[in-house]
Amino acid sequence: MIKYSKIKMRKNKKGLSEIIAYVLLISIAVAISLLVYPWLKSYISVSDDKPVCHEGVAIIIKNYSCDASIKQLNLSLQNKGLFTIKGFLVKTNSRANADFGINSINDSGVSLEVGEEVYGVYDLTDIPTPALVEVQAFESDSKNPKILCRAVTQKIQC
């Protein structure tokens, strides 16, 4: 009887040592991940101070004309918002069902006061005939030269 209990105890100890080995492996893996996480996090800069455009900024496409034969787009834009706009971006898209512009034709730093209107003539020789025009106003501050605002789009016929 004594021999049987010693054999049984040895088997139990072997099983216990395997469990301890697994616990140690898992503990080491968790410890390494806890050390690596802050190190990797220091490489990623996440800022909650993202500049935001004022709520009352609004630019509209008041009028447009497009001449496909001479590859020219004429736009009349107006600041309908509550703040001065520091400039605007004009983009076009040649797809008829497009929702946003992809071909930049202007990166104007022309400032628009509240209610002011600007007329622009844009050359379309390097891009396909547009089916959509997108205008996006931008503001600036001491840290950020361009704070992009909400864009307006207009389907056009050339």
- pLDDT given for residue 6 in this prediction: 56
**Does a structural domain hold residue 38?**
yes
d(CA 79, CA 58): 6
What are the Cα distances from residue 8, in Å, to 17, 55, 89? Answer: 15, 77, 81
**35 and 68 both lie in a single domain:** no
Q: What are the percentages of helix, strand and coil residues in the chain, rounded to 5?
A: 25, 35, 40
The predicted-structure confidence for 28-82, as pLDDT tens digits, reads as follows 999 999 999 988 887 776 666 677 787 888 888 899 988 888 888 888 999 998 8
**Does a structural domain hold residue 52?**
no
- Side-chain-side CA neighbours of 128 within 13 Å: the count stands at 8
d(CA 76, CA 59): 11
The CATH number for 137's domain is 2.60.40.10
- pLDDT given for residue 26 in this prediction: 96
**86 and 151 both lie in a single domain:** yes
Instruction: Tell me what the mean pLDDT of segment 9-29 comes to.
Output: 79
SS3 of residue 44 by DSSP: coil
pTM of the model: 0.62
How many domains is the chain partitioned into structurally? 2
- Classify burial at 149, counting beta carbons within 10 Å of its beta carbon; exposed 0-12, middle 13-18, buried 19 or more: buried
**68 and 141 both lie in a single domain:** yes
**Residue 39: domain span:** 1-46
**Does a structural domain hold residue 53?**
no
**Does a structural domain hold residue 92?**
yes
